[in-house]
Structure 1
Amino acid sequence: MTIDADDIVAVGGSLEPRVLVEAYRRGVFPWPIDGLDVLPWFCPKERAILDFSQIHLSRSLRREIRKTPLRCTVDRAFDAVIERCAEVPRPGQDGTWITPELLDAYKAMHRLGFAHSVEVWDEAGALVGGIYGVCVEGYFSAESMFHLAPNASKIALLHLVEHLAKAGCDWIDIQVMTPHMQALGAVVLSRRQFLERLARTRVMGLRPFG
């Protein structure tokens, strides 16, 4: 991620659930930076989202999804998913932004019903992929995902999309554009456009996780 000082809207503060919930309501999320002693809070000038109506799946991915033996669940193993997201190496990254403090904070959010996960399991019952994020008033912010089997993270994402769509949701916040998300049809909004869409979603009163 290329950081612009204008993307940071606050520094310091607490990771208590009440603080996190209020931050997400305003489109703000925490993201630690190596070498910075205080916690920065971001609301990027350019925000990536995945609009469900614009999702594009390649023929090869559609074929893989049709024949996959992998199965998905929702909120069956949140702690395991976020821990794998923190542990599994990613190309071009030396470490993880999911610090022990963030692990504890999001686990607490899950226990309170604000953080959720999709798990992907293989035929032997092993966890091979997943995604987690925060859902506040129908607005879902995807935080991280991992895979230990081909296409497992994509399958998790698409299962999440299907789950949210059934409740009337039509987009998710992915925060920062990546080549993987761009290939799926993600788009970039200005901060103003993003916050306007967030506000429209919140007033709808959707409850995708009960």
Structure 2
Amino acid sequence: MIRLDENEISFPDPALYDGHEGIVAFGGDLSIERLWFAYQLGIFPWHNPDEEILWWCPDPRFVLYPNELKVSKSMRKILNRNIFTFTENKNFREVIKNCQEVKRKGQSGTWLSDKLMDSFIKLHEYGLAKSVEVWQNDELVGGFYGLQVGNVFCGESMFAKVSNASKAGFIHFVETHKNDLELIDCQSHTEHLESLGARMIPKKEFLKILHKSNERR
């Protein structure tokens, strides 16, 4: 495993380096410059806040092709009832704050440190990180955020305060952007996103799509 130099923004080529269980490097920092460079390479940070930074590019990769989105009949009925309304980039700070604070099954803490959260807020201010908000009766009840790299959306985290809120927001986002997004990177497997059509693909296939997306920018 390769240790990163805090004074140099570089990563091993994830196409050539498999690492351990998807970890391609450790160390470095969470500056906005390093984060943005990492995501363009298909690499993302994931670690406990009190531990050293780990940088991942798993193989296989969990993704969703927008044209493969699955919406159940029960979920379509919920969407048709218009019990939720949706916005984009209206309240990034509250979305990421809720993602940090939400209690998750099987997790005692959060991987979303204050430093990482601050860097994503800065990336949002530069127009690189985006949020989707889900509202019910003018209250923020769900949402998610991620980074847009060309026509690949790299999803980071989501939250829901009421049943089906995050799922409704995700479906709305995919259906709204299905013509301008080639792929949504979900990073690691969840049953929640698998039920919506996300699936595993080889790392090399993911990186090929991501690199082409970068070339078009």
Provide TM-score, normalisation by structure 1. 0.89
The one-letter code sitting in structure 2 at the alignment partner of 1:131 is F
Note the residue ranges of structure 2 that are not aligned, 5 or more in a row.
1-18
Q: Is the 8 A contact 1:135 1:141 kept in 2?
A: yes
Q: Does 1:126 align with 2:133?
A: no
Q: 2:190 aligns with which of 154, 178, 181?
A: 178
Identity %: 37
SS at match of 1:85: helix
CA distance in 1, matches of 2:175, 2:207: 23
Q: What does residue range 55-66 of structure 1 map to in structure 2 within 5 Å?
A: 55-66=69-80
CA distance in 2, matches of 1:73, 1:193: 31
Residue 5 of structure 1: aligned partner:
20
SS at match of 2:67: helix
Residue 211 of structure 2: aligned partner:
199
Residue 34 of structure 1: how far off its partner (Å)? 6.7
Residue 98 of structure 1: aligned partner:
112
Residue 208 of structure 1: aligned partner:
none
Q: 2:30 aligns with which of 7, 12, 15?
A: 15
Q: How many residue pairs get matched?
A: 199
Q: 1:136 aligns with which of 129, 149, 152?
A: 149
Residue 42 of structure 1: aligned partner:
56
SS at match of 1:5: coil
Note the residue ranges of structure 1 that are not aligned, 5 or more in a row.
206-210
SS at match of 1:93: coil
Residue 110 of structure 1: aligned partner:
124
Provide TM-score, normalisation by structure 2. 0.87
Q: Is the 8 A contact 2:152 2:182 kept in 1?
A: no
Q: Is the 8 A contact 1:73 1:120 kept in 2?
A: yes
- When the two chains are superposed, the root-mean-square deviation of aligned CA atoms in Å is 1.5
CA distance in 2, matches of 1:63, 1:84: 27
CA distance in 1, matches of 2:175, 2:91: 19
CA distance in 2, matches of 1:176, 1:163: 23
Residue 94 of structure 1: how far off its partner (Å)? 1.3
SS at match of 1:185: coil
